[in-house]
Amino acid sequence: MVSPRLFTPLTLGGLSLPNRIVIAPMCQYSADGEGSMTDWHTIHLGQLALSGAGLLIIEATAVSPEGRISPWDHGLYSDANERALARTLAAVRAHSPMPIGIQLCHAGRKASSRVPWEGGGQLPLEEGGWDTLAPSAVPYSPGQREPRAMTTAQIEQLKADFVASAERAARLGLDLIELHAAHGYLLHEFLSPLSNRRDDAYGGSLENRMRLLLEVFDAVREVFPADKPVGVRISGSDWVEGGWDLEQSVVLARALEARGCSFLHCSGGGLSPDQRLDLGPNYQVPFARRIKAETTMPVIAVGLITEPEQAEGILVGEEADAVALARGMLYDPRWPWHAAARLGASVHAPNQYLRCQPRTLKGLFD
């Protein structure tokens, strides 16, 4: 019997995944106020690590305090952050063999925000907010404080911050790094002509707008172990006229591949409140399909992928090499088990849960 494509192994750089289900990074806004993980993260990541997915990527992790989306975001810029993450990883790894990666991020002009359940708007300075950084002094939406256009010295510091966080990730033994250049955060802001109005080497032409992301990638790749993958998450389009689009994404993908990028994780939008998109199943998969056709590096697809047959169809149709789920995994933390049952495959489960296997599904668990 041929195994479903979703449950065949995948190699990212030197990392072998047992299947092609990726748990995408999901912000929890539950750090301790100094960027360090709490018990919530141990519970949250622990349950996801028992799901049988092929890879778990830790939420967008700030490389500096001002790079946090909210005051309660996770960071990896201090010794305290590193110690807290080490404790969580030790607890999770004691009970799960799942590879664990981390997404490194700077929120740029979308930093200093309230948590989503408090409205998510920009946090006033008098309530604990801070001045944000961006390529240019262009706010995300009208009425917000203008971000500060980054100086050359601040750009150099940003690269150093990404390197320092990558070195901490290496010390922690994390299996993978994903650079967050999507959803309107700082690296994406440099890519898009809507947010990047610079007239120096980091603005103007496509080559210049890509420069910072490529330099950050090169710097992180140099300090992270060579046998471990470094990839990038991009927004395939801003979905705004005159903004970042799929044709520019193809050029970026080729440039990243030439530098040894291990994978591209294709999302979309997030840069502008003016975005216009047709929300529906697979709505972002066309980005992955095009990038996969134009490069040879593995591509991860996202976009309201909720059903096992839907995910399998994306892979069988050669639209992507893996699929990533976020909210769907929160709704159903055993999604990989249920997908394996539906598609006739087997999946890893902890010994403590083996007895829950339904009698009609003998062979579901490895």
Active site residues: 185
The DSSP symbol for 364 reads: -
3-state secondary structure of 13: coil
Alpha carbon distances (Å) from 174 to 48, 55, 224, 320: 16, 11, 10, 24
Beta strands in 47-112 (DSSP E): 55-62, 100-105
Half-sphere exposure for 6 (CA within 13 Å, toward CB): 30
- Cα separation, 349 vs 357, in Å, equals 10
DSSP per-residue codes, 197-254: ---STTSSSHHHHHHHHHHHHHHHHHHS-TTS-EEEEEES--SSTTS--HHHHHHHHH
Compute φ and ψ for 346, nearest 5 degrees: -120, 160
Alpha carbon distances (Å) from 83 to 54, 80, 172: 26, 5, 9
Alpha helices in the chain (DSSP H): 39-49, 79-93, 152-171, 186-191, 206-223, 246-258, 285-294, 308-316, 327-331, 335-343
Half-sphere exposure for 195 (CA within 13 Å, toward CB): 32
Structure tokens at 80: 């305290």
Compute φ and ψ for 102, nearest 5 degrees: -140, 145
